[in-house]
């Protein structure tokens, strides 16, 4: 279900509400919370209508105010970027070694350049924190693989900046070992 393969893809907004209620119930493991937030992020991304039910699910998923949501909606894919960042945070808190790589790649297909600057900044802080964890975890660790999944956003966010990435570019293959080298200089 997390990879969008169960019954043809992410489920409905109603399924997202059910999962959020379930995860808030007693005794749900942190790892399950990460899975649920990943599924909800996929639901939010794939929803055709951004109606009141979608907005309520977004508020519940991200834990933000209605005013923040309206600000996010005014900046194109900001909700999707905030959702991706929240999923990454949940995954780093999870004690399980489970990582939905396909889902992270799908969630990374957004236009980061038109997002709200504050959320883009949170993405950059999350990238840097994940990079520090990756440096401590080793070359082929889960944090390195997560960085690899979201690196297109990193590239896009810095394409027109004064400090574009020099270690890799759009044309760098996902099989390239640039993220697996010792001490990659990818901090933004």
Question: Shortest CA distance to 98 belongs to which of 33, 156, 53, 169?
Answer: 33
The span from the CA of 145 to the CA of 45, in Å, is 22
Question: Domain limits of the chain?
Answer: 6-180
Judged against a pLDDT cut of 90, whether residue 159 lies above it is answered with no
What is the reported pLDDT for 188? 40
* Average pLDDT over the chain, rounded to an integer: 82
Phi and psi at 77, nearest 5°, equal -90, 25
For residue 47, the tally of other CB atoms under 10 A from its CB is: 17
Please report, rounded to a whole number, the percentage of residues in the chain having pLDDT higher than 90: 46
pLDDT value of residue 9: 52
Give the per-residue pLDDT at 46. Answer: 92
Average pLDDT over every residue of 96-118: 89
What is d(CA 23, CA 61) in angstroms, rounded to the nearest whole number? 11
Q: Residue 144 — very low, low, confident or very high, per pLDDT cuts 50/70/90? A: confident
């Amino acid at each position: 279900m997390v990879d969008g393969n169960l019954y043809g893809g992410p489920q409905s907004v109603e399924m997202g509400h059910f999962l959020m209620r379930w995860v808030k119930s007693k005794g749900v493991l942190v790892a399950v919370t990460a899975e649920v937030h990943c599924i909800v992020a996929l639901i939010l991304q794939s929803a055709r209508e951004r109606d009141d039910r979608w907005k309520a699910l977004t508020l519940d998923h991200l834990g933000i105010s209605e005013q923040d949501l309206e600000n996010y909606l005014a900046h194109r894919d900001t909700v999707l970027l905030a959702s991706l960042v929240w999923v990454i945070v949940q995954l780093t808190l999870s004690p399980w070694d489970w990582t939905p790589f396909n889902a992270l790649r799908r969630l990374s297909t957004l236009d980061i350049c038109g997002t709200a600057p504050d959320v883009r900044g949170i993405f950059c802080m999350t990238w840097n924190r994940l990079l520090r964890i990756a440096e401590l975890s080793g070359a082929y660790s889960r944090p390195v693989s997560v960085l690899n999944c979201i690196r297109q956003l990193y590239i896009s966010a810095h394409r027109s900046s004064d400090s574009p990435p020099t270690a890799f570019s759009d044309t760098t293959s996902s099989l390239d070992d640039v993220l697996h080298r010792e001490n990659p200089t990818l901090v933004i």
